[in-house]
Chain A
Amino acid sequence: MALEKITTVTGRGVYVPGDDIDTDRIIPARFMKCVTFDGLGQYMFHDVRFTEDGDEKTHPLNDPRFEGASILLSGENFGCGSSREHAPQAMYRFGIRAVVAESFAEIFFGNSTTLGMPCVEATAEQIVRMAEIIRADPSAQITVDVGSSTVTCGGEVFNVTVRESAREALLGGRWDPIAELLEADDAIRETASRLPYL
């Protein structure tokens, strides 16, 4: 089960400002009544993008200039709250391939990495600058380089933070750990045999 090695992600960006954007906001609970993740993309950020009557609100994600963007920029503690993998799954199915934020909630970070969607951390100033660049030119290309821990945005290079475990997993094509976990059959049995409560 060799996975693709994820070294860089390139695409256009969209800025969703705000801190503590929780997973309830990324995918409201009512859209989780499903037994597969298929089709979740259309509901990503649903309640901030649409009114209760289904009309589009003014939001960067509805702005035609940012249509097709695959790199999402945001603030601190992105993806906090619920452990729902429906959140990164919805983003991935919407077309997002990488997230650049000031910081990430941990369960969201792990869920995203397992999907092969890198989450990299930049400073508030860097994100404001990137947002300025894409506001001025929505066609500006952004490249998230996992190996060199940089984000290139409209020609400017930003040094960002890529967590070591995620970098290893993405570059090594091991971002979904299931194959590696399954390999350890004997070691798992050995650990289990040492646990007094099993």
Chain B
Amino acid sequence: MSATRQEPDTQPKSLFEKVWDAHSVRTLENGQTQLFIGTHLIHEVTSPQAFGMLRDLNLRVRHPERTFATVDHIVPTDTRIEPFADPLADGMIRELRKNCGEFGVTMFDTGSGKQGIVHMVGPEQGITQPGMTVACGDSHTSTHGAFGAIAFGIGTSQVRDVLATQTIAMSKPKVRRINVHGKLGPGVYAKDVVLHLIRVLGVKGGIGYAYEYGGSVFDAMSMEERMTVCNMSIEGGARCGYVNPDQATVAYIKGRPYAPRASEWAEAEARWLALASDEGCRYDDVVNIRAEDIAPTVTWGINPGQAIFIGETVPTVEGAPEDEKANIAEALEHMKLTPGAAIAGTKIDVAFFGSCTNGRMSDFIEAAKYLRGHRVAANVKAIAVPGSQIVKYQCEELGIDQVFRDAGFEWRDAGCSMCLAMNPDKLVGDQLCASSSNRNFKGRQGSVTGRTVLMSPVMVMAAAVTGEVSDAREVFKTEPNTVSA
């Protein structure tokens, strides 16, 4: 292969190519690459069958020291008293503990103070670092790309493959560079950026691609904001998404438990920064978006690409292109929205704040800033679920939990909760939920007829206090507390 490539060492390369090449073990018979996985994250739902397969094949975990586990998907968030009320959930958590014990895998369990959604735990612990390959049996593994890691969601058989060989078979995706230039307006967040990108590029627009995000908007983003965007790469169909490492990346990792030791720090920092895509490297596609064109965005339909700005109206079937008509009709029927009507003003029943998209410290600080002094509207059930125990304890230290409690939110323990409703937190009937999570699929939040409207955390706050989908910029703009940090 390298014989046909000209001057292989001087060709400018994207971060993706550098990381892919460094982790390529060999080419398989079918042309796929056997790719080394540097960090393997596991959780209770997609790993038990993989451990079962491992036992059937009489294999061991090849790199237990590169495998990390936590519980998130089914863990209750209202109580941590065991056994859990749901015997199936209880059994799955026990199974993970047993598997980790037997195979020597580190587990951030409920009693560790470090448990949380798997995509929060990796960064919090400093496990996720630039230039790594990361895999996890969960599609939102793309989150870790915020650090300049190449991070793939995988199926359970591949979890087995990683456990047994620390490798997976993969086809190399193309790379699309997505630039967002300019400056986001007030009240426009990372969540709005990614919902807008998916709306523009489509839920299948990313098939076959890794997304590289860049431009002045990403340069200015915090690591947590970058995680929000990378998290939803998969909703746009991309295999992974990443941001090139810079000083913000380095600063975030410094001092975390799994960060390189002081003696190795300078070398690691230099190596990470050098991983960024080279000037003039080739991309398979480039997309440019203007930050000024992005407004607070909410979904109206049943996939994350069915999104509109808060000031827009719900689409009509008649106004849609021919090949979209059936999908739009199906979405409108499920959502019970009036075609052509404003999305603002849609009554909500539930407000859910949490998930691996928007359950981080900066989300809680920003949301609390606006929620302070407000009350959740009558008839709205509102729950706030920190994405990790670390976020929960930090909020409690800062009194942020009290802001939520005073407003009428339920304050919960860490987990996925109503993002996928595998634990007791579920919508009932056709309740409509204003949600800071990432999927609005039919039935996603635990009721077949339940309805989800995705939005940023601050927009969830606005919906919670008004009882309807609202423009947070209008709801909160005259409040004195909007200026205090």
Chain A residues engaging chain B, CB cutoff 8 angstroms: 17-20, 22, 24-25, 28-30, 32-37, 47, 52, 76-77, 80-86, 88-89, 103, 105-107, 110-111, 114-115, 124, 163-169, 172, 174, 176-178, 180-182, 184, 187-188, 190-192, 194-198
Contact with A along B400-425 (1 / 0, CB 8 A): 00000000000000000000111000
- How far apart sit A83 and B443, CA to CA, in the bound complex (Å)? 17
Known: A47-B448, A83-B154. A187 touches B26 (CB 8 A): yes
Question: 29 A-B contacts, Cβ less than 8 Å apart?
Answer: A17-B326, A24-B442, A24-B443, A28-B443, A33-B45, A33-B89, A33-B422, A37-B156, A52-B448, A77-B204, A85-B49, A105-B204, A106-B237, A107-B234, A110-B170, A165-B171, A169-B29, A172-B29, A172-B30, A174-B28, A174-B30, A181-B168, A184-B34, A184-B167, A187-B34, A188-B36, A190-B25, A195-B23, A196-B267
Known: A33-B88, A80-B204, A188-B165. A197 touches B153 (CB 8 A): no
Chain A CB within 8 A of B157 CB: yes
Q: Which of B22, B129, B160, B326 contacts A194 (CB 8 A)?
A: B22
Q: Which of B31, B203, B208 contacts A168 (CB 8 A)?
A: B31
Nearest CB in chain A to that of B330: its residue: A18
Docked-complex contact A176 and B157, CB < 8 angstroms: yes
Known: A33-B88, A36-B49, A110-B158. A25 touches B441 (CB 8 A): yes
Chain A CB within 8 A of B131 CB: yes
Q: Which residues of B contact A181 (CB under 8 A)?
A: 34, 161, 164-165, 167-169
Q: Which residues of B contact A182 (CB under 8 A)?
A: 59, 164-165
Q: How far is the CB of B333 from chain A (nearest CB, A)?
A: 12
Interface size on B, residues (CB 8 A): 80
Contact with A along B125-157 (1 / 0, CB 8 A): 000010110000111010000000000011111
How many residue pairs bridge A and B at CB < 8 Å? 210
- How far apart sit A103 and B421, CA to CA, in the bound complex (Å)? 28
Known: A25-B441, A35-B49. A115 touches B157 (CB 8 A): yes
Docked-complex contact B303 and A33, CB < 8 angstroms: no
Chain A CB within 8 A of B95 CB: yes
Known: A52-B448, A165-B171, A195-B22. A33 touches B165 (CB 8 A): no
Q: Which residues of A contact B245 (CB under 8 A)?
A: none
Docked-complex contact A106 and B207, CB < 8 angstroms: yes
Docked-complex contact A32 and B422, CB < 8 angstroms: yes
Docked-complex contact B164 and A178, CB < 8 angstroms: yes
Docked-complex contact B443 and A81, CB < 8 angstroms: no
Q: How far is the CB of A4 from chain B (nearest CB, A)?
A: 16
Q: How far is the CB of A162 from chain B (nearest CB, A)?
A: 12
Known: A28-B443, A81-B139, A195-B38. A111 touches B326 (CB 8 A): no
Docked-complex contact B203 and A18, CB < 8 angstroms: no
Docked-complex contact B48 and A35, CB < 8 angstroms: yes
Known: A30-B446, A83-B46. A35 touches B95 (CB 8 A): yes
- How far apart sit A187 and B22, CA to CA, in the bound complex (Å)? 13
Chain A CB within 8 A of B439 CB: yes
Docked-complex contact A188 and B167, CB < 8 angstroms: yes
Chain A CB within 8 A of B66 CB: yes
Chain A CB within 8 A of B24 CB: yes
Chain A CB within 8 A of B373 CB: no
Nearest CB in chain B to that of A102: its residue: B204
Known: A77-B203, A114-B155, A182-B165. A35 touches B46 (CB 8 A): no
Not counting A35-B91, A182-B164, A197-B268, a sample of 17 additional A-B residue pairs whose C-beta atoms are within 8 angstroms of each other reads A24-B443, A25-B443, A34-B48, A34-B92, A35-B95, A47-B442, A47-B443, A77-B237, A85-B49, A106-B239, A107-B139, A111-B155, A165-B171, A177-B169, A178-B165, A180-B28, A181-B167
Chain A CB within 8 A of B11 CB: no
- How far apart sit A165 and B52, CA to CA, in the bound complex (Å)? 27
- Closest 4 interchain pairs by CB? A168-B30, A85-B155, A111-B155, A33-B88
- How far apart sit A182 and B26, CA to CA, in the bound complex (Å)? 12
Nearest CB in chain A to that of B238: its residue: A106
Known: A35-B49, A80-B204, A184-B34. A197 touches B129 (CB 8 A): yes
Q: Which of B30, B38, B327 contacts A20 (CB 8 A)?
A: B327
Q: Which residues of B contact A165 (CB under 8 A)?
A: 30-32, 171
- How far apart sit A32 and B45, CA to CA, in the bound complex (Å)? 7
Q: Which of B137, B207, B268, B420 contacts A29 (CB 8 A)?
A: B420
Q: Which of A105, A177, A198 contacts B38 (CB 8 A)?
A: A198
Q: How far is the CB of A40 from chain B (nearest CB, A)?
A: 10
Q: How far is the CB of B52 from chain A (nearest CB, A)?
A: 6
- How far apart sit A88 and B204, CA to CA, in the bound complex (Å)? 19
Chain A CB within 8 A of B444 CB: yes
Nearest CB in chain A to that of B209: its residue: A106
Q: Which residues of A contact B28 (CB under 8 A)?
A: 174, 177, 180
Q: Which residues of B contact A172 (CB under 8 A)?
A: 29-30
Contact with A along B29-67 (1 / 0, CB 8 A): 111101010100000011011001000010100110010
Q: Which residues of A contact B437 (CB under 8 A)?
A: none
Docked-complex contact B157 and A114, CB < 8 angstroms: yes
Chain A CB within 8 A of B256 CB: no
Q: Which residues of A contact B330 (CB under 8 A)?
A: 18
Docked-complex contact A174 and B157, CB < 8 angstroms: no
- How far apart sit A176 and B24, CA to CA, in the bound complex (Å)? 19
Known: A47-B448, A165-B30, A184-B34. A80 touches B237 (CB 8 A): yes
Docked-complex contact A164 and B49, CB < 8 angstroms: no
Q: How far is the CB of A70 from chain B (nearest CB, A)?
A: 21
Docked-complex contact A83 and B155, CB < 8 angstroms: yes
